[in-house]
Amino acid sequence: MFVSTGYNNESELSTTLKWLEPCRRFEFHEILSATENFDESLVIGSGGFGKVYKGNIVNGLNTVVAAFKRLDPTSNQGPPEFWAEVETLSRLRHSHLVSLIGYCSYGKEMILVYEYMPNGTLHEHLHKLYTPLSWLQRLKISHKCGSWVRLPPHWHFWISGPYYVATGKLSWESDVYAFGVVLLEVLCRKSATDGDLDWGIATWARDSIKEGRLKHIIDFDISDQISQKCLKRFVRITERCLDNYPKQRPTMSEVVSTLESVLNLQEKEKTNNLFQTAAGKTMF
């Protein structure tokens, strides 16, 4: 999720985009052609922003497969969120981030054009496709994402935004909070906006931990894969990310360092278990 950083229209954004990596402004007729006038058969997803269409569009000398996210007029999101996402994704290029090809602003129509990701996103694999992901795989994903999220304080990339909703403030501390929410999603396989959770995943998890119900919040598919030492360290750094007092939260560098130690510990324990299993078979 991306939240507003103060850009409310294209004219305010134009001076910023001049020095960012190329982000093309598409004409509306190009979008209509690529999506076949927003044909419903091309819809590949939907969310709070609106529907997402798949289509082919000419970008430079190439025709590329792209995903077109169209703002729904009835959405709670609007121009501020749209321009914030254009600005943020224009700044960032990373292998773990969907690249923004361009955008279109025409009257009330606002469309974001992304590279098409046939394998989907982490959110989709966790909450829509229910892809089997081992604990070790989830740790590796968390570590890689954490290494990337270490952005300068004025780059407010948000993976999730409950802290912003509560305070209206953006900072490196809020980025850390957002990443803590992602760590919870990885551990529990519950969405940050799960409708079954009255106060959101962070409050639900914190209350469960305080009440001694940690084991009950872990995704059942990985509950027997996590060593107690790894779980304790992982949950501790996650709790610190979600601290109600921003200044008490760790830096992303510290989070990444901790995740790396958790990953190394889990891999070591996995190796030891394999060795013990092999030794047991040899003895008997």
Pairwise CA distance, residues 102 & 104, whole Å: 7
Give SS3 for 148: helix
Q: Check if the beta carbon of residue 66 is closer than 8 Å to that of residue 56.
A: yes
49 within 8 A of 83, measured Cβ to Cβ:
no
Give the Å distances, CA to CA, from 262 to 15, 114, 115, 226, 235. Answer: 43, 34, 33, 10, 10
Three-class SS state of 275: helix
Check if the beta carbon of residue 234 is closer than 8 Å to that of residue 262.
yes
How large is the C-alpha radius of gyration of the chain? 21
Task: Name, in order, each residue with C-beta under 8 angstroms of 251's C-beta and a sequence gap of 6 or more.
Answer: 172, 176
Q: Quote the DSSP letter at residue 223.
A: T
Placement of tokens 């006038």 in the chain: 37
Q: What is the rounded distance in angstroms from the CA atom of residue 111 to the CA atom of residue 37?
A: 13
What does each C-alpha distance from 48 to 70, 107, 153 come to in angstroms? 11, 20, 27
Binding site annotation covers 18?
A: no
Burial degree of 61 (CB within 10 A; 0-12, 13-18, 19+) = exposed
CA pair distance 283, 98, nearest whole angstrom? 51
- In single-letter form, the type of residue at position 129 comes to L
Binding residues: 69
Binding residues for ATP: 69
